[in-house]
Amino acid sequence: MIDTNFSKQLIDYIASRISLSLEESKLIAEAYSILHVKKKDYLISQDKAGNIEAFVIMGTFRVFYNDSKGLEHVLYFAFKDWWVGDIASFNSGELSMLNAQALEDSIVFTIDPIKKEKLLEQIPQLEKLFRIITQKHLTVLQKRFLLTVSANVAERYHELIQRHPGIEQLVPQHQIASYLGILPESLSRMKKQLLKD
Amino acid sequence: MIDTNFSKQLIDYIASRISLSLEESKLIAEAYSILHVKKKDYLISQDKAGNIEAFVIMGTFRVFYNDSKGLEHVLYFAFKDWWVGDIASFNSGELSMLNAQALEDSIVFTIDPIKKEKLLEQIPQLEKLFRIITQKHLTVLQKRFLLTVSANVAERYHELIQRHPGIEQLVPQHQIASYLGILPESLSRMKKQLLKD
DNA sequence: AAAAACTCTTAACCTACATCAACGTTTTCA
DNA sequence: TGAAAACGTTGATGTAGGTTAAGAGTTTTT
């Protein structure tokens, strides 16, 4: 059930942010379950109850929304030591708006809302940690939103590869296009144009 | 310093979400300061340390980003019983990316990061409340982002006026255009087009 | 090893919205 | 109350990115 080596990574992540007793570390390790997700498999699927929050131990995910016209929009990519989940669904029980698909064979720790609720009661310090993590997520999304509405595609492209060097080796270009909010053809065109300068 | 009538509104807001002792209510009322903001005045200004978080007692604010080309982008409008602040700046001490301007004479309760920190230590239950509030904000922003990238302007316009009936009486049309991510001319044209159907 | 699926590129054409400019109306404020 | 500022509309024109289609290269599956 619990792999000590893997759970160490989650414990380290938390312990580097708040102080944990051995007791508390054990409670955390027991609350989370390890899950192997094969390349192309889904950790979260749209229109199902997305009642999972995951911490990425290894691998990469694309988190995306499938709109009413069938177009996919990548909200973010999630790497090692990132959280993956549909926050709206996790906290309300509503159906998920998001899909999370593994881009390579991946390993995550997952928790459901009931276990998390219990864990937060057992370790009140976690309330503060998760408040801060959520604030950080909100900050990141706010920056992403403002950049999306204020910068052109070339600027957003440069911002992405600067923030994630090497992402182009890991993520297919059409998914980068989707993250940028354009079609693959347009990204291809833009990159060709960039070479001219 | 503290206006009992006004502070009651903030206390009610909090007390409807977590249980508060009289003692705790008093601590909250003392931690927040009342502030009157005149129409067109700024509660938060870009590129200053935006170290304020405010709860709107009365009035309306537009919260917007001023980009490098001088264009304004409305992130959200804030009404009675909403929170206003630049979460990134408030929690990091960085300069604010956002401006918050009163659209009418308004009254808010404000708090700075140090006082909030202290308050959270005095009333640990507030950690949970603010975690949940932040989650809610993240949920709202995520929906806004996904709608922005997946729906056309007419759809976004309808979503806005459905979610905020009466907003067109309160907010100038060019600011609604800014919220929708287009220029005033384009919104004017779109509305004319809508009438034809 | 062959077939199927996926990925990227290029080109021609189209569309939604931006840009620039002008003008009438309403609101603000001195 | 009169001038100035803010607001909304319309028109002409420009452009970034969407749409459609086709083909070539690569990876995955059987």
Helices A184-195 and A153-163 pack at an angle, to 10 degrees, of 90
Identify which of B67, B87, B146 has the shortest CB distance to residue A65: B146
Bridge partners, residue B54, by sequence: B84, B110
| Interatomic CA distance for residues A41 and A39, integer angstroms | 6
> Over the stretch B103-147, which tens digit does the pLDDT of each residue have?
999 999 999 999 999 999 999 999 999 999 999 999 999 999 999
Average pLDDT value for residue range A115-123? 97
- Those residues with Cβ within 8 angstroms of residue A188's Cβ, 6 or more apart along the chain or in another chain: A173
* pLDDT tier at B31, thresholds 50, 70, 90: very high
pLDDT of residue B49: 79
Domain with residue A66: its CATH number is: 2.60.120.10
pLDDT of residue B196: 75
The answer to whether residues B52 and B85 touch, using CB atoms and an 8 Å cutoff, is: yes
The answer to whether residue B38 sits within a structural domain is: yes
The answer to whether residue B83 sits within a structural domain is: yes
| Interatomic CA distance for residues A173 and B114, integer angstroms | 45
| Interatomic CA distance for residues B7 and B3, integer angstroms | 6
How many CA atoms, within 13 angstroms, populate the side-chain half-sphere of residue A92?
14
pLDDT of residue B94: 87
| Interatomic CA distance for residues B116 and B109, integer angstroms | 12
Distance (Å) from the alpha carbon of A134 to chain B's nearest alpha carbon: 6
Place of tokens 């310090």: A125
> Over the stretch B163-194, which tens digit does the pLDDT of each residue have?
999 999 999 999 999 999 999 999 999 999 98
DSSP string computed for B156-183: HHHHHHHHSTTHHHHS-HHHHHHHHTS-
- pLDDT higher than 60, residue A2: no
| Interatomic CA distance for residues A177 and A173, integer angstroms | 6
Strand D interface, A 26-45, C-beta < 7 A: none
Q: Which nucleotides of C are covered by protein (CB under 7 A)?
A: 6-12, 16-21, 29
Identify which of B124, B135, B146 has the shortest CB distance to residue A134: B135
**Among A residues 51-110, those touching chain B with beta carbons less than 8 Å apart:** 65, 67-69, 71, 73, 75, 87-88, 91-92, 97
The answer to whether residue B167 sits within a structural domain is: no
The answer to whether residue B186 sits within a structural domain is: no
- pLDDT higher than 70, residue B50: no
Total number of domains in chain A: 1
The answer to whether residue B16 sits within a structural domain is: yes
The answer to whether residue B191 sits within a structural domain is: no
Note the CA–C1' distance, B72 to C14, in angstroms.
Answer: 30
The answer to whether residue A176 sits within a structural domain is: no
The answer to whether residues A51 and A115 touch, using CB atoms and an 8 Å cutoff, is: no
Average pLDDT value for residue range B63-69? 94
Q: Which of A44, A131, A180 to mutate to test the interface with B (most CBs of B within 10 A)?
A: A131
The answer to whether residue B149 sits within a structural domain is: no
Domain residues for the domain of A43 are 4-124
